[in-house]
Amino acid sequence: MPKETFFNLTENKKSKLIEAAEQEFARAPLHEASIANIIKTAGIPRGSFYQYFSDKEDLYFFLLDSKLQTSKKNFIEALEKHHGDIFEAFIEIYNDFLITMPDEEEHNFIKNALLFATYRVENTFADIFDSTSDREHFNRLMELIDHKPFKDKEEVISILQMIGAIAFHNSIVKLTNKLSDEVAIKQFRIQMDFIKYGVYTEKSK
Amino acid sequence: MPKETFFNLTENKKSKLIEAAEQEFARAPLHEASIANIIKTAGIPRGSFYQYFSDKEDLYFFLLDSKLQTSKKNFIEALEKHHGDIFEAFIEIYNDFLITMPDEEEHNFIKNALLFATYRVENTFADIFDSTSDREHFNRLMELIDHKPFKDKEEVISILQMIGAIAFHNSIVKLTNKLSDEVAIKQFRIQMDFIKYGVYTEKSK
DNA sequence: TAGATAAGTGACACCGTGTCATATACATAG
DNA sequence: CTATGTATATGACACGGTGTCACTTATCTA
């Protein structure tokens, strides 16, 4: 988390810094991005940076977290819309996430996040449907999810994790193999169908 | 790939360097590991390192690749043993991989690889059951896999990718949450059952 | 208006990378 | 056996990035 000092900054200074950081993290993945570039673009001295953040990661995960707040809300909305159907909700946010990326800078930011995703990045993404950090959000999820197909809460969590991992992995494959949006979504649907109806079951073709 | 010069080295020198590198990559993840440490341990001058490898990554992926050759063979063997059953084969190598890790250095190497896995690391792991790099290996896989439950080859590939992603993700969760071997394997089995029989199907409880 | 507390600043010490000019070893033809 | 070319070895160095710290400046408060 950024330090108190950062939040005390004027809106103008704050957004200038954030814009500079987004630009840099869109240009290069975390490990290649440099504080030097960020402060140059933002026009602040080196010492100030460390007044606001403990290091590069601090700023980075603050940004990534902010960006994913939207996905978190979207997931809730998708669940409401699809009457608690996990699969349809996931397909919807997968769609949202990969396809509705209007801003090129935003797109590159996320691309770098995914392609160079360490466990911390993965965990940040997982927060969208995970219990660990935002308890309230998680409880809301659990209320909305249709539990009928599942034995117990553990099964629900297990499925959420599994689908999350698949969605995450598919995003990476889409980016590395430069798949079209249509192909990517189709692939994901096929995989969701496997989980819904199983490999050893007659599929409704 | 390491340069010619590296392969021309005496066995003694080569293994000394490799041992030093393994030690360093077990100590720290790729982005924190330093060439400085490797050459210090191996007792070679800095210039020589660049005679053998183009950079840190070059050496790293050479090592990781070598290590995964074993898993590649194991997967083939597991498929033979289980008469082409993808699920049982995966469970077996998942087991092999996470549990049969006798050497602590080896364990830490893999741990760092998984926790700080970028798309290149993920792709290297995916080579175990992927078509892109080792065509011959892939064809052998396709011969062995029981195609009965699947509509076509594409479906088989899709399932392989999916299970691969789940196994990969589970390994990371096991390491971050420090799950016991038993719990990790049990979780994986539950998830495999979901794919086998589907969520919307009566399970044989 | 003094004194305290918070914020701003940039020079600096430190560390790691990749290169390059130079040195050395080795092979091979004359 | 020597000359000459080719492969390998070496470490000093330029470059660029990080995090800190002593010092300055601004802001608040009694």
Which of strand D's nucleotides are less than 7 A from any protein C-beta?
A: 7-13, 16-22
Give residue A204's pLDDT: 46
Two structure tokens written together for A148: 């009928």
Structure tokens at B90: 């995966």
- The per-residue pLDDT for A131 is 80
Sequence-ordered list of residues with C-beta below 8 angstroms from that of B30, at least 6 positions apart, any chain: B56, B57, B60, B112, B113, B116
How distant is C1' of C23 from CA of B25, in Å? 32
As a whole number, the mean pLDDT across chain B is: 93
Within 10 A of B179 (CB to CB), how many other CB atoms are there?
16
pLDDT at B98: 77
pLDDT, residue B202, reads 65
- Residue of B100, B114, B95 whose CA lies nearest to B183: B95
| Cβ contact A138:A131 at 8 Å | yes
Spell out the domain ranges in chain B. Answer: 4-58, 61-202
Quote the percentage of chain B above a pLDDT of 70: 98
Q: Is the pLDDT of residue A58 over 90?
A: yes
* Residue B99 pLDDT > 60: yes
**B36 CB neighbours strand C below 7 A:** yes
**What tokens does B198 get?**
């589907």
State pLDDT tens for residues A118-174: 999 999 999 998 888 889 999 999 999 999 999 999 889 989 999 999 999 999 999
Q: Which of A134, A136, A191, A200 is nearest to A159 (CA)?
A: A191
pLDDT digits (tens, 9 = 90+) for B40-67: 999 999 999 999 999 999 999 999 999 9
Report how far residue A129's alpha carbon sits from residue A139's, in angstroms, rounded to the nearest whole number: 10
In one-letter notation, the amino acid at residue B59 is L
Cβ contact A71:A110 at 8 Å: no
pLDDT tens per residue across span A71-122: 999 999 999 999 999 999 999 999 988 777 778 999 999 999 999 999 999 9
E runs forming strands in A2-159: none
Comparison of pLDDT for A102 and A60, the residue scoring more? A60
CA distance A77 to A85: 12
DSSP string, A138-174: HHHHHHHS--TT-SSHHHHHHHHHHHHHHHHHHHHHH
Task: Check whether residue B9 has its CB closer than 7 Å to nucleic acid strand D.
Answer: yes
Mean of pLDDT over chain A: 93
**Structural fold of domain B4-58:** Arc Repressor Mutant, subunit A (1.10.10)
Which structure tokens are listed for A14?
Answer: 């704050």
Contact residues on chain A for B155, CB-CB shorter than 8 A = 190
The answer, yes or no, to whether residue B97 has pLDDT greater than 90, is: no
Rounded distance between C-alpha atoms, residue A67 and residue A21, angstroms: 13
**Burial readout A154-172 (b: 16 or more C-beta within 10 A, e: otherwise):** ebbbbbbbbbbbbbbbbbb
Q: What is the pLDDT of residue B119?
A: 96
Average confidence (pLDDT) over B146-151: 92
Is residue B19 exposed (0-12), middle (13-18) or buried (19+ Cβ within 10 Å)? Answer: middle
Q: Which nucleotide is nearest to A53 (CA to C1')?
A: D19
| pLDDT level of residue B131 (50, 70, 90 thresholds) | confident
Cα A84 to Cα A90: distance, rounded to the nearest angstrom: 11
For residue A205, is pLDDT > 60?
A: no
- Tell me, what amino acid is at A28? A
Say which nucleotide is closest to residue A8, CA to C1' distance. C7
pLDDT at B154: 87
pLDDT of A100: 72
Q: What's the confidence (pLDDT) of residue B203? A: 54
